Structure 1
Amino acid sequence: MRSTLAWGLGLAWMVFAAGNLVDVAVRGSGPSAHLATAALVASCGVVYVLVLRPRVTHTEDTLRIVNPLRDVWIPWKSVTQVDVTDVLRVHVGEEVHRAWALRQKSRRPKFSVFGGNNSTNSGTTETKEAPRDVDMMADTLRDYAERRAVLDQGEPGPVRLVWSPFALVALVVPLAALLVVIVLP
């Protein structure tokens, strides 16, 4: 579960950057080619970590939240609440784990830009907002957690919080190379 638009734009950037890297390799030379290459590779690392990597997945036993630099594995029996603020949040007792991948878009305005309102023929000005994708996903995860809590017996397992070494390398190494290319002539 992730934003399809963000994932598509991230993938489009990767294709664009790959095409430019081929162009720099074929026609580029000198310091400007090194700078362009380092900037493109650094931008790909940033896009991977911030756009392509974040997601929420689940198995029969656990819910996995993949954020830019950390992964969180939460046993279903440990989930106490799932809600939405600016992002999807999963509560485990007093702990709150936020999912970068499922962000809430801003609410739709109840009144139009031209001063009219969205009232119905009955004269009421009350409007009902359509459910957002992140709200529907929170409902789905909440229902799944409740079903798994009933089915699972015994004590819940521990929540595992793990830094992603691949994400750290994908971000730090290209940015360090870009810094070296900028600083050294």
Structure 2
Amino acid sequence: MTTPDHQSATAKDLTYRSPLALMAGVLLLALAAWLGFDALVHGGGRTPWLALATLILVVPLVIAFTLRPAVFSGEDRLRVRNPFRVITLPWGEVASLRSGYTNEVIDNSGTKYQLWAIPVSLRARKKAARQQSRAQAAAKGEGRSSGPGPGFGIFGGFGGHDGPTRAETDQIMDDLRTAQERRGQAKSAQGEVTVRWAYEVIAPVVAGAVLLAVLLATG
């Protein structure tokens, strides 16, 4: 489940991250720190060196795939922070935002970028579909229309949500599409798509892998 966080890169940006990924990252880092510290302090022979190399390799990977991913939606651009890259797309360069088994943004050249911070939940989609079906059945049974319009909505409350029940990440994608439609033609939302590799993640991973390979090869 992904939720918006107003603590973003700029004051006007909305930040979307996955709470489940953040929780998993914290737990994995705590486990790695516990096991690594124990091996470094109490290990004998080459064990401390192997533990150090493993930590150098594993910790950046855990951070990259759990704590790092985020999507920043601003007035003029969409910034996607994935495990190993940061993609900045002015809204004018966003051709579409597609939801399937993954959520993706596609630029005007046809290049696809996965939104790691907004994972698709098939379970949430099925739950939302069941809720919508129940609401429509209840509305039919009471002789009310479940579609948009004045009166009672699908939740049975006056002035409630008029649209269909949606999974949270699908609703987020709808919000991003709305932002693109609203700002896509703005003069300040034009420019080039930029992609920056996250060398601050890649470098320690490579160093840890090389060190671990050397230690294993010479053991």
- TM-score normalised by length of structure 1: 0.79
SS of equivalent residue, structure 1 residue 60: coil
Aligned with residue 166 of structure 1, among 200, 215, 219: 200
SS in 2 for 1:45: helix
Match for residue 171 of structure 2? 136
For 2:118, what is the secondary structure of its paired residue? Answer: strand
Extract unaligned runs of 5+ from structure 1: 112-117, 124-128
- 2:122 alignment partner AA: S
- 1:8 paired to 2:6: no
Please give the secondary structure, in 2, of the residue aligned with 1:80. strand
Q: Which residue of 2 aligns with 1:76?
A: 91
Instruction: Determine which of 112, 124, 146 is the counterpart of 1:96.
Output: 112
Q: Measure the CA separation in 1 of the matches of 2:50 and 2:28.
A: 18
Asked if the contact 2:87–2:196 (Cα under 8 Å) also holds between the matched residues in 1, the reply is yes
**One-letter amino acid of the counterpart of residue 171, structure 2:** M
Query: What 5-or-longer segments of structure 2 have no aligned partner?
Result: 1-15, 142-163
2:40–2:51: 8 Å Cα contact kept in structure 1?
no
SS in 2 for 1:158: coil
Give the length in aligned residue pairs. 173
Q: CA deviation at 1:105?
A: 1.8
Q: What is the identity, as a one-letter code, of the residue corresponding to 1:180?
A: V
TM-fit CA distance, 1:155: 7.7
1:156 correspondence with 2:190: yes
Q: With structure 2 as the length reference, what TM-score do the two structures score?
A: 0.68
Q: CA 1:153 to 1:45, structure 2 compared with 1: closer, same or farther past 3 Å?
A: closer
In structure 2, the residue matched to 1:27 is 42
2:161 maps to none
Residues 155 and 103 of structure 1: is their aligned pair in 2 closer, same or farther, counting only changes over 3 Å?
closer
The 3-state SS of whatever aligns with 2:78 is strand
Which residue in 2 is equivalent to 1:182? 216
Contact 1:49/1:170 (8 A) holds in 2:
no
Match of 1:57 among 67, 72, 93: 72
Deviation at 1:130, TM superposition (A): 4.8
1:25–1:36 distance in 2 versus 1, CA, 3 Å? closer
* Paired-residue identity, %: 28
Q: Is residue 49–residue 171 contact of structure 1 (8 Å, CA) maintained in 2?
A: no
- Relative distance call for 1:158 and 1:130 in structure 2 (3 A) is same
The C-alpha deviation readout for 1:114-143, integer Å capped at 9, x for no partner, is xxxx8x6889xxxxx952222111111111
Task: Report deviation, 1:169.
Answer: 1.0
Q: Spell out, residue by residue over 1:69-101, the C-alpha distance to the aligned partner (whole angstroms, 9 max, x if none).
A: 111100012222212112221122233222122
